[in-house]
Structure 1
Amino acid sequence: MASLAFGLVAALCWGIHDICVRYVSQRGGILPALTTVLAIGTIVMAPAAIFMGDWGAMSSKAMALSVASGLAFTLAYLGLYKAFEIGPVRLVAPIIGAYPVLSVGWAAMAGQEVGADQWLAVGAVIAGVAIVGMLTSESASQGNKRAAILWAVLGGASFAATFALGQAAAHAGSEGPAILVTRIVAVALAVVMMLASGGIRWPARGALPLLGMMGVLDCIALGIVIAAASMARPEFASVAASTFGMITVILAWAILRERMTAGQWGGVLLTFSAIGYLAL
């Protein structure tokens, strides 16, 4: 199914992005890096969206949905980074990775038929991601675990809202403009948060090439999940995209030579087996 393939591409992009976050966050902080990444991704996609997008199709409803999607996307990233900052990974990753339940639930409430077997497959995807997260060795907490849980809930719920609102905006209007408005709102809100936290801070110049790559990856990931609105079962794109945390762990094993246990590989197998079933 094309929507699942799109979601897996998004997960791979965000997985690579998160590997890079480990590097840049130690050289200037998360918020300046996040703002730069969002801004670069927006600049990259702006020409295509402006000159090739069907702006005439962007009704007031589509614009409102796009703005709401941008607000949700910023909250999703904020919740994600704050949750992982406090940790531990094994606590917050399964919570964030459970957001497909909301995505599929909203699709069901909107009239999309979801069979019992599909619900089981979605549950298996979430369980596989949870297994990988829970068996990740980073166990030390840097703060209040209740706060970590709350940030993780915010991140997960906001990711589900981002994709649902973004796909609804694309369906009500045009994909390119909907994505661009979503991103512009996200950049504006990130700048406001940075100002509120002590003023504008720029990342180190040496980090800009890496941040540029991260911006492109983030742009591709968000764009293709929202673009799945025109496909059959668009909610399954967000299901597949939820594996980005697990893919980060796999990439850390492949690139950074971090160890993966047999249990983690079992979680990977369960997740992709379930995704394969949904694609049938």
Structure 2
Amino acid sequence: MIALSLGLVAALFWGLHDFTIRRVGGRADVAAIFALVTVFGLIPLVPIALFIGGWDAIGPQQAMLAVAAGFGAVCANIALYRAFTIGPVSLVAPICGSYPVLSVLFAVARGQEAGMQEWLAVLAVVAGVAIVARGEGGASSGSRTAAAGWAALASLSFAVTFGLAQWSAETGAHMPVAAITRSTALFIAALWLLQRRPGLGGLPAIWPALFLMGMLDVGAVSAVTLAGGMENAEYASVASSVFGIVTILLAWRFLREPMRASQWGGVALVFAGIAALGLA
């Protein structure tokens, strides 16, 4: 029960994080937004990682995997920010949240077997995304096709990032791996900004929102990590993967993004499939 509750807390935090992206996206350079959010997130993450410990479990292989996950995190978050900036949330959130499906496909590619429940869950997610994507309406600042494409890239990148990070953290160094991954992502984003030198004029007006996003992300990561040593720890990962529902509900309530009954059914199908994958 505690692990499930921590997963729901993580889902709430990540849902609020993505809703905030929708509110401030497009008001500053996307790489600059990501870099500043990462800085804010590292402020509490590094002390937490130092306090919890586990750095002695970081060998050369674990470090390389964590650094590789940092590269994936840059791609995932840039795509995520672009997708939510375009919108609508009802389209973007289910696609971004479908990364567990790709994790199953990667596992099959590595030689693991998938049962009937896994394949039915994958089919449910694909069908649900198709239903949501066909719906009309919803606030969008660009092409729905472009939004779906960026969301799909974010989903693929998150699956790769989480897979590499989990592989690196198999020895128990969860928070150190998270710190290394985010530090690597910040370094890459900083290099990108130095090369492009975009205008940073929009950041002063939205930095409180970016600070909130950094805190929400670290809070979600910490909640799922804390559940790792508890009974039924897998329930935390399952519960946290439905964060897209939180984002959709917030957008529907506060941004007045319309939702048809068929789209609600598609959203339910997507996240039911995700939950089934986690429980499988």
TM-score using structure 1 length: 0.79
For the aligned residue pairs, the C-alpha RMSD in angstroms reads 3.6
1:37 aligned partner: 37
Q: Say yes or no: does 1:179 pair with 2:178.
A: yes
Give the aligned residue type for 2:188.
Answer: L
1:54 aligned partner: 54
2:191 aligned partner: 192
Distance in 1 between residues matched to 2:242 and 2:33, nearest whole Å: 23
**CA shift in 2, pair 1:182/1:235, >3 Å:** farther
Identical aligned residues as a percent: 43
- SS for the counterpart of 1:128 is helix
Distance in 1 between residues matched to 2:87 and 2:274, nearest whole Å: 27
1:28 aligned partner: 28
Contact 1:12 1:244 survives alignment (8 Å) = yes
Give the aligned residue type for 2:32.
Answer: P
Provide Cα deviations, 1:41-86, integer angstroms capped at 9, x if missing partner.
1111110102322111111111111111111011011122334556
**CA shift in 2, pair 1:23/1:93, >3 Å:** closer
1:1-280 → structure 2 map (5 Å cutoff)? 9-85=9-85, 96-110=96-110, 113-135=113-135, 137-138=137-138, 142=142, 145=145, 151-199=150-198, 201=200, 203-223=202-222, 237=237, 243-275=242-274, 277=276, 279=279
Q: CA deviation at 1:234?
A: 5.8
Distance in 1 between residues matched to 2:229 and 2:126, nearest whole Å: 25
Give the aligned residue type for 2:208.
Answer: P
Q: CA deviation at 1:178?
A: 0.5
Q: CA deviation at 1:113?
A: 4.8
Contact 2:10 2:224 survives alignment (8 Å) = yes
- SS for the counterpart of 2:175 is helix
Unaligned 5+ segments in structure 2 are none
Contact 1:61 1:172 survives alignment (8 Å) = no
Q: CA deviation at 1:216?
A: 1.1
Distance in 1 between residues matched to 2:102 and 2:3, nearest whole Å: 17
Provide Cα deviations, 1:209-267, integer angstroms capped at 9, x if missing partner.
22211111122334556777778796993x76554444322211133343322112212
Distance in 1 between residues matched to 2:209 and 2:85, nearest whole Å: 21
**CA shift in 2, pair 1:194/1:81, >3 Å:** same
Distance in 1 between residues matched to 2:111 and 2:157, nearest whole Å: 22
Distance in 1 between residues matched to 2:195 and 2:39, nearest whole Å: 18
Distance in 2 between residues matched to 1:219 and 1:185, nearest whole Å: 16
Q: CA deviation at 1:206?
A: 4.5
Give the aligned residue type for 1:37.
Answer: V
Select between 88-97 and 113-122 the one with higher mean Cα deviation.
88-97
Give the aligned residue type for 2:159.
Answer: A
**CA shift in 2, pair 1:203/1:142, >3 Å:** closer
Provide Cα deviations, 1:163-183, integer angstroms capped at 9, x if missing partner.
101111111351110010011
Select between 246-255 and 54-63 the one with higher mean Cα deviation.
246-255
- SS for the counterpart of 2:19 is helix
Contact 1:4 1:275 survives alignment (8 Å) = no
Distance in 2 between residues matched to 1:123 and 1:144, nearest whole Å: 22
Contact 2:94 2:270 survives alignment (8 Å) = no
**CA shift in 2, pair 1:135/1:157, >3 Å:** same
Q: CA deviation at 1:129?
A: 4.5
- SS for the counterpart of 1:27 is coil
Distance in 2 between residues matched to 1:60 and 1:179, nearest whole Å: 16
Number of equivalenced pairs: 278
Give the aligned residue type for 2:49.
Answer: A
Provide Cα deviations, 1:145-174, integer angstroms capped at 9, x if missing partner.
5x6665444322211001101111111351
Give the aligned residue type for 1:105.
Answer: L
Give the aligned residue type for 1:81.
Answer: Y
